[in-house]
Amino acid sequence: MRSLLRAIKNHPELELQLVVAASALLDRYGSVHTVIEREGFHIDRRVYNIFEGENLLTSAKSTGMGIVELASAFSELAPDMVVTIADRFETIATAIAASYQNIPLVHIQGGEVSGSIDEKVRHAITKLADLHFVSSARAAERVIRMGERSDRVYDTGCPSIDVVVDALAKPPLSTSELFERYGGVGDTLNLDDAYVVVIQHPVTTQYEASRRQVLETLHAIAESGVPTLWFWPNVDAGSDGTSGGIRAYREEHSLPHVHFFKNLPPDDFLRLIDRSRGIVGNSSVAIRECAFMGVPAVNIGNRQRGRDRGRNVIDVEHDRKQIRDAIDRCVAAGRFESDLLYGDGESGVRIADHLVTVPLSVEKTLTY
């Protein structure tokens, strides 16, 4: 959302109010709130709403507490509209807190398909939202078919692509920058060598399987021997399964060619991927940003099922052999051409411009 935050902040007819909640406030997810402030944004409210426990019950409770707290924040800040993105529990909490207070709700990234609790939540947010800024033509079509008025749906591309443009305007990330700034755990790797990046999140509705699934990826990476930069999963119900699998594997196996990180600021993260030979796991970055960057991607399992793909994606199952073979193909393949499927890098400015003129209505009804 950075490009959009910046475009709103810089727009003479808009005023930015920023509420930061959930994992963005937590150390173990990289203290995103400090990144936000370092980039010059003022945070109007910090909302701590995550219950410890990392199970399905606490996911639900964190959603509820998010509503309780965001409702107060919105009531105090009294914005003309609330803008939110994606499909997470803090997103639906935001949607409900705004909707019940009759504050027009703007949703970014509606109409995408993934096939899990996140998809249910994403479409539920679409039904609560008054305005939709979607990432692709197919997404626009889906939102309209769900009964939204076509004049409330804008295909602006995804602001996440804007961040790529920003990041790649800088010189490539060097080995020393990476390890001096972010430490992490494991031996230092040389970014001049061919390397891959792994990000694997738990699949929320398959809680017990998360641990088993990540072990397949760990084995594949171990067998491939390719230098690897591995990022811990986000907060999500089930992260215990994935994180626990990683911890268990590391206690029993040596992984000298793997270095683990918690989180990186977006710019450095994207520059790191841009230099890599490929991305492995089930992150949406592999599908979206890597389409634009032309970085090969090994997409594991069904977390990204139904998302439109560029040429850069190889889909595999949670199977160490399939994963390893796909990694080898990626490393061999080299870069693809940029694919504008998810945006052209100007979405933030485009959305901000629309926000000035969109109708601020909370009345809507099914179109059929």
Site for a second copy in 102-121 (CB under 8 A): 102, 113-117, 119-121
Query: How buried is residue 131: exposed, middle or buried, by Cβ count under 10 Å (0-12/13-18/19+)?
Result: buried
Nearer to a second copy, 94 or 228 (CB): 94
Query: CA 192, CA 177: separation in Å to the nearest integer?
Result: 13
59 is a site residue for a second copy (CB under 8 A):
yes
Nearer to a second copy, 11 or 262 (CB): 262
60 is a site residue for a second copy (CB under 8 A):
yes
Among 13, 42, 75, 253, binds a second copy (CB under 8 A): 75
- Listed as own residue / partner, the contacts of 27-32 with beta carbons closer than 8 Å and 24 or more positions apart are 28/232, 28/235, 28/262, 29/234, 29/235, 29/262, 29/263, 30/262, 30/263, 30/264, 30/265, 32/263
Task: Kindly identify the residues of this chain, within the stretch 235-254, that bind a second copy according to CB under 8 A.
Answer: 235, 237, 240, 251
* Residues forming beta bridges with residue 24, ordered by sequence position: none
Least Cβ distance, residue 112 to a second copy (angstroms): 9
Least Cβ distance, residue 280 to a second copy (angstroms): 24
Task: Kindly identify the residues of this chain, within the stretch 15-44, that bind a second copy according to CB under 8 A.
Answer: 25-27
208 is a site residue for a second copy (CB under 8 A):
no
Among 9, 11, 45, 219, binds a second copy (CB under 8 A): 45
Among 8, 65, 164, 178, binds a second copy (CB under 8 A): 65
Q: What is the DSSP letter of 80?
A: S
Residue 137 is encoded by which pair of tokens? 């033509």
Residue 254 is encoded by which pair of tokens? 């040596």
Least Cβ distance, residue 7 to a second copy (angstroms): 27
Residue 186 is encoded by which pair of tokens? 């494991």
Sole window of 53-61, 79-87, 270-278, 285-293 interacting with a second copy (rule: CB under 8 A): 53-61
Task: Kindly identify the residues of this chain, within the stretch 81-100, that bind a second copy according to CB under 8 A.
Answer: 89, 92-93, 95-97, 99-100
Give CA angle at 29 (90, 79), nearest 5°.
35
Q: What are phi and psi of 97, to 5 degrees?
A: -60, -40
Nearer to a second copy, 183 or 256 (CB): 183
| Residue 20 CB partners (closer than 8 Å, separation 6+) | 32, 33, 36, 43, 45, 46, 47
Among 34, 205, 234, 322, binds a second copy (CB under 8 A): 205
71 is a site residue for a second copy (CB under 8 A):
yes
Query: CA 367, CA 352: separation in Å to the nearest integer?
Result: 26
Task: Kindly identify the residues of this chain, within the stretch 150-179, that bind a second copy according to CB under 8 A.
Answer: none
Q: What are phi and psi of 314, to 5 degrees?
A: -110, 120
Nearer to a second copy, 63 or 283 (CB): 63
Among 30, 66, 233, 348, binds a second copy (CB under 8 A): 66
Task: Kindly identify the residues of this chain, within the stretch 216-235, that bind a second copy according to CB under 8 A.
Answer: 235
Task: Kindly identify the residues of this chain, within the stretch 334-363, that bind a second copy according to CB under 8 A.
Answer: 362-363
200 is a site residue for a second copy (CB under 8 A):
no
Among 10, 13, 42, 72, binds a second copy (CB under 8 A): 72
Nearer to a second copy, 202 or 296 (CB): 202
Query: CA 210, CA 232: separation in Å to the nearest integer?
Result: 13
| Residue 102 CB partners (closer than 8 Å, separation 6+) | 362
Least Cβ distance, residue 193 to a second copy (angstroms): 24
Q: What is the DSSP letter of 280?
A: E
What is the total count of residues that contact a second copy (CB under 8 A)? 76
Nearer to a second copy, 43 or 168 (CB): 43
Could you tell me which of 191, 189, 337, 339 has the C-alpha nearest to residue 276? 191
Nearer to a second copy, 3 or 59 (CB): 59
Least Cβ distance, residue 101 to a second copy (angstroms): 4
166 three-state secondary structure: helix
Query: CA 274, CA 170: separation in Å to the nearest integer?
Result: 11
Among 183, 225, 334, 359, binds a second copy (CB under 8 A): 183
